[in-house]
Chains A and B, each alone.
Chain A
Amino acid sequence: MDWLNALNLTFGEFIGAYTAAYVLCALGLAVHFGFTGLLNFGQAAFAALGAYGYSIATLSFGWPWYSSVLFGLLCSAAFAVVLGIPTLRLRADYLAIVTIAAAQALKFAVSASIFENVTGGSNGLSQFGDSFYALNPIPKGRYDFGVFALSENELFIRIVAWSLIILIAVFLFFLTRSPWGRVLKGIREDEDAVRSLGKNVFSYKLQSMIVGGSIASLGGMVFVMSSQTNQPSNWGTNFTFMLWTILLLGGAATILGPIVGGMVFFGLLMFLQSVMEGLVNMGWLPFLDIAQVGQIRFLLVGVALMLLVIFRPQGIFGNKKELQFNG
């Protein structure tokens, strides 16, 4: 069995464009949940709005990439406000229900046939990345990285996506260590206490929704840009739950957590897949065929996550001391 191949594929996932997209969305979720305590189960909606905002602005309005990015960000910020005004006064668990419902509603709305000429209905949209890839300074060709080789565009989207992650991480680093971030953490602990100290809790929660939602919409744009296809089926609840897994894997109230969490999650999935495929080919797993491996690896990752939550509930980067008081 080819261990080198498995490791190479795993490394490919570490720096993959999809991994980067998930990491960005998980960073947004860290702002919502890790720092403000908002139980947002509709993060897929924010990512979808970024993706649809971008692709619709490009295809329907014919806008250049930068206006399209701005439009995607505005869409998700507007969604944060529309969703936030009625729900942020509710208790945390109600917010979870409303966000999950809103995300599903949005998914059905974009796949509805009445909007087909704008959103592409259930087929989605494609080929909206030309003005973005026109920026690519990398000469045409194949770039070899061990067993996997990337085209100039594949390389470009990875560079852009991971630079964006670094930028956002620095942005969040300063934000969460500022007095503004301190108010958010206070709200996470007890919003009535923070209110009694004269802070407009509702406004802070709304700001947190907008900041986290905007970051997620950038993730959504990266997600659809790498394949230049945007389909409503991408933005289901499983997208949101993958984000939660990544967030909890890395550590909720950390910035490095979602980044490393995302890399470990997708790296592990790929590693398990290639190792198991190797074992099946060698005839060591007679009860499996190659097609089943894709499903089984999720099962194994699920078990690994359960073990992680039991034995290291604070995640990879979480502070054990912070968590032990909750018990």
Chain B
Amino acid sequence: MANQISIGEPAPGCKKVDPILVANKVTRVFGGLTAVDVEHMEIPRGLITALIGPNGAGKTTMFNLLTGFDKPNTGEWTFDGKNLANVSSYKVARMGMIRTFQLTKALSLLTVIDNMRLGDQKNPGEGFFQAFLRPVWKKHEAKITLKADELLKRFKLDAKREDYAAALSGGQRKLLEMARALMSDPKLVMLDEPMAGVNPALTQSLLEHIKGLKENGTTVLFVEHDMHMVRHISDWVIVMAEGKVVAEGPPADVMKNPAVIDAYLGAHANSDLGDIDINSAAKETN
């Protein structure tokens, strides 16, 4: 499997057969702390890639940099062959790279269906002057509403259609955020800890949805703490620690990699990876 994804043996920063996102020499310094120092990173197209690492490894910072929500000190990256460094976040989204947030950002005082409609990027009615000309956007609005309803059904939120997003539970908000991201048919979906704070039953359905994305041809990159989850759904795992990529490869191989065990798992290497408390493991490695 490794041979189909990477060129040559999997190693930190290895080249991929068909990368969708290529980052080079990306660094981000906060005061004296180098949060991100990635020499080279490639994300394979059409697959599910997990970005894992202990707390403070720089995963979310890397996400923010890649999506234009933060500016790097050095570095550049391309998405689908287009240079993305110093491109503002909304333009990144318009290119087909949509992210979600670790702390869910449902638009609380908008209804669920309005949240979904906002995910569309081609609505002519969002222009100021067209806004008055209902005939201009009526048809498009009906089309995206239909699409939104289909997505809501898929994510089992159709019963909540007319509710304010604030009335949803934490897990449902995660689902809504993911469904909203799909409204624009993105090429790459970046999920920042999609499973954090979600109960086990809902986690299962979230995992199914992530797999469903891949089946529809969407590339997925997600950040996760929990190695157990990662093992089940990802095709490729990139491990970060202290801002650097320390290992990557297919999930089964990465778990055996001594660098990962060192940086991430410490003394608990032999226990079930899903059960250990990662925070305490990370402390012990420090």
User: A201 near B: Cβ within 8 Å?
Assistant: yes
Interface pair B109/A199, CB less than 8 Å apart: no
**A contact residues around B177 at 8 Å (CB):** 193
User: B118 near A: Cβ within 8 Å?
Assistant: yes
**B contact residues around A175 at 8 Å (CB):** 131-132
Interface string of B110-148 (1 = CB under 8 A from A): 100010011101010111101110100100010000000
Interface string of B89-106 (1 = CB under 8 A from A): 111011000111100011
Given contacts A181-B131, A200-B90, A325-B167, contact A194 B125 (CB under 8 A): no
**B contact residues around A199 at 8 Å (CB):** 90, 118, 126
**A contact residues around B105 at 8 Å (CB):** 190, 192-193, 196
Interface pair A179/B93, CB less than 8 Å apart: no
User: A178 near B: Cβ within 8 Å?
Assistant: yes
Interface pair B110/A186, CB less than 8 Å apart: yes
User: A174 near B: Cβ within 8 Å?
Assistant: yes
User: A93 near B: Cβ within 8 Å?
Assistant: no
State in angstroms the CA–CA spacing of A207 and B131 once bound together: 13
Give the dominant DSSP class at A's interface.
helix
- Residue from A179, A185, A196, A200 whose CB has the most chain B CB atoms within 10 Å: A196
Interface pair A189/B110, CB less than 8 Å apart: yes
User: B6 near A: Cβ within 8 Å?
Assistant: no
User: B166 near A: Cβ within 8 Å?
Assistant: yes
- Residue from A175, A189, A211 whose CB has the most chain B CB atoms within 10 Å: A189
User: B219 near A: Cβ within 8 Å?
Assistant: no
User: B67 near A: Cβ within 8 Å?
Assistant: yes
Interface pair A201/B109, CB less than 8 Å apart: no
Looking at chain A, what size class is its interface with the partner chain? 20 to 34
Interface pair B131/A194, CB less than 8 Å apart: no
State in angstroms the CA–CA spacing of A207 and B126 once bound together: 12
User: B164 near A: Cβ within 8 Å?
Assistant: yes
Interface pair A178/B180, CB less than 8 Å apart: no
Interface pair A174/B90, CB less than 8 Å apart: no
Report the nearest B residue to A181, measured CB to CB. Answer: B131
Report the minimal beta-carbon distance from B145 to chain A, rounded to whole angstroms.
11
Interface pair A178/B137, CB less than 8 Å apart: yes
Given contacts A179-B141, A182-B110, A207-B128, contact A194 B69 (CB under 8 A): no
User: A322 near B: Cβ within 8 Å?
Assistant: yes
State in angstroms the CA–CA spacing of A188 and B105 once bound together: 12
Report the minimal beta-carbon distance from B28 to chain A, rounded to whole angstroms.
18
State in angstroms the CA–CA spacing of A14 and B222 once bound together: 58
Report the nearest A residue to B109, measured CB to CB. Answer: A322
Which B residues are closer than 8 A to A by beta carbons?
A: 67, 69, 89-91, 93-94, 98-101, 105-110, 114, 117-119, 121, 123, 125-128, 130-132, 134, 137, 141, 164, 166-167, 177, 180-181, 183-184
What are the 8 closest A-B residue pairs judged by CB atoms, nearest first? A179-B125, A198-B93, A193-B105, A325-B166, A180-B131, A178-B131, A189-B107, A198-B94
